[in-house]
Amino acid sequence: MDYKYLSELLFPNVTETVEEIEAKYPPRNLPEGAKVTRFAPSPTGFVHFGGMYQAVVDYMLAHQSGGVFFLRIEDTDGKREITGAVEALINTLKYYGMDYDEGMMLENGVLVEKGDYGPYKQSERAGIYAVYAKKLVSEGKAYPCFTTEEEYEALQQVDKKAEIKNIDWHTAAAEKRAAMLAGREFTIEEVKEHLANGDPFVIRILADGDPEKKTKFTDQVKGALEVPENDEDFVLLKSDGIPTYHFAHAVDDHLMKTTHVIRGEDWLPSLPKHIQLFRYLGFKMPKYLHTAQILKTDENGNKKKISKRDMGAKMDDYTMLGYSTNVVWEYLLTLLNSNFEEWRMQNPTTPFREFPFSIKKMAVAGCLFDFDKLNDVAKNVVCRMTADEVYDNTLAWAKVYDPDFAKALESTPEMAKAALSIGRGGAKPRKDFGRWDEVKGYMGFFFDDYYKVVDEIPERFPKEDVRAALTKYIGIYDESDDQTAWFDKIKALAGELGYAPETKLWKKEPDRYKGHVGDVSMFLRIAVTGKASSPDMYEVMRILGRDKVVSRIKAYIDRM
């Protein structure tokens, strides 16, 4: 068959040559060893946690090697396209500080492209794919298939039918193969007739592989693999000219000079197709990192793939729950590199972006997601923030998710910041909370609107003791006392009421006392904060000021 002629028949409007396109995508001018990576999501309306996991790898590898990280929008599946989805995706990446150098971006709310290797949206690259498809057809490596979508679906169903009806698998596979091979048989006249009728067609690869034969392949994460050759005439271009993932991946990553493809391990089974396609197109294959699936433990303790409906599957979940973007990054790095936590302990204040990321330390198989660990990381990260950072982040979060609390924070920022600085700084900062939605519970009592007595003083303490302690305290509280003088007064007060002024005295002779100084402090704490646990009481009282401390204690006594 005259393949050249066939290609002209199928692509009469394609006049550009592969050489002309290649000339528009020159080698990137980058230092030796620089990695070029890309995040290539489909615009489904949200960023998946698994996507962010890959993007962190993209980011770290490119930026730590002086390379380039770009964003490509893979919108070839028209059925999945949602309006505003690209914008939402970019906003999420931006919010999470997932800074990339090239690709689709938002400028004042308008979608723009940045970089010389675009277009970065696959739906705008149809003309490019057609040129490569035409070339493959002209070389006899691809062919038109006029089988309708439905007929093809039916063909695909053969495997399933075999499974259900228990047909011998070999027979079913042979049937399918026969049908596929039959599709390869056509004459130029038949093609002309189809085209004259306006029949839709797809372009399929003409697979030359023998699945019995294996090719050696090294995945940067999984290590040495044996990959069977591909014998399936898979689709390159759909009838509307839109490429399949496989074809677009090969053409785009070649032209855009991607050096490392980081993608989910669910793409591993497609590797035979990609190896063949790169060979047919004469492209050098990039390096591949197939990342482990994110798993969770279900109610029965079994490990399961995290699903779209699970809390934590979408990045917006973390925003809503009030996790700092830094927390999410540090958690992802904890999952991605087995030595991250150790590094963090040794370098408590170094920005996480400076962590020396290593491909060798990446998880090879299923990586377990769990909220307990995330919360742990959250507390460790948030405790190292300044009060101002905590205030700003909490306020930003509350403006969206808890507007009343936002108003409270804004009403007295100085007090809020002072409250948030208690126990901060120093070698062992307090780890009271890790999420912005926990801040109200932690320090809301500073605001009269949120002050509420939620904890009870245990009944074993006689009411007269509590009343006496609180009443006397009003008389001795002096705002100018330093912390020692302040506590000495509480100790003295305890002694006066028959409570041990030191806990250790009480421990030695518990029968001699009604309780100890800690109990007296607890009376005060509950009266002033409404809660049995709170930040340091000396600081709390100092920030609230005498009037408020006294009025809360008085009100508490009145309600007793």
Binding region for ligand GLU (CB under 6 A): 40-42, 74, 249, 261, 263
Q: With respect to ligand GLU, which residue has the nearer C-beta, 249 or 440?
A: 249
Cα dihedral 427, 433, 434, 440 sign: negative
Please say whether the beta carbons of 37 and 258 come within 8 A.
Answer: yes
Q: With respect to ligand GLU, which residue has the nearer C-beta, 123 or 148?
A: 123
Q: Smallest distance from the beta carbon of 33 to ligand GLU, in angstroms? A: 22
Q: Smallest distance from the beta carbon of 293 to ligand GLU, in angstroms? A: 12
Q: Smallest distance from the beta carbon of 44 to ligand GLU, in angstroms? A: 8
Range list of β-strands (E), 352-474: 367-368
Residues 6+ apart with CB under 8 A from 282: none
Q: Smallest distance from the beta carbon of 548 to ligand GLU, in angstroms? A: 55
β-bridge pairing 260-264 and 287-291: parallel
Q: How far apart are CA 7 and CA 133, in angstroms?
A: 9
Classify residue 198 by burial, with Cβ atoms within 10 Å: 0-12, 13-18, 19+.
exposed
Q: Smallest distance from the beta carbon of 285 to ligand GLU, in angstroms? A: 13
Q: With respect to ligand GLU, which residue has the nearer C-beta, 68 or 494?
A: 68
Q: With respect to ligand GLU, which residue has the nearer C-beta, 307 or 484?
A: 307
What is the tally of helices (H) and strands (E) in the chain? 24, 14
Q: Smallest distance from the beta carbon of 114 to ligand GLU, in angstroms? A: 20
Reply yes or no: is the peptide bond before residue 413 cis, omega within 30 of 0. no
Token pair of 290 as six digits: 């197939």
Q: Smallest distance from the beta carbon of 280 to ligand GLU, in angstroms? A: 19
Q: Give the closest residue to 325 by CA, choosing from 105, 543, 490, 92.
A: 92
Q: With respect to ligand GLU, which residue has the nearer C-beta, 7 or 42?
A: 42
Q: How far apart are CA 413 and CA 176, in angstroms?
A: 71
Residues 6+ apart with CB under 8 A from 233: 143, 145, 180, 183, 184, 204, 205, 206, 207
Q: Smallest distance from the beta carbon of 276 to ligand GLU, in angstroms? A: 17
DSSP 357-426: --GGGS-SS-EE--HHHHHHHHHHHHTTS-HHHHHHHHHHHHHHH-HHHHHHHHH-HHHHHHHHHTT-SS
Q: With respect to ligand GLU, which residue has the nearer C-beta, 51 or 183?
A: 51
Q: With respect to ligand GLU, which residue has the nearer C-beta, 263 or 516?
A: 263
Q: With respect to ligand GLU, which residue has the nearer C-beta, 255 or 261?
A: 261
Q: How far apart are CA 531 and CA 159, in angstroms?
A: 64
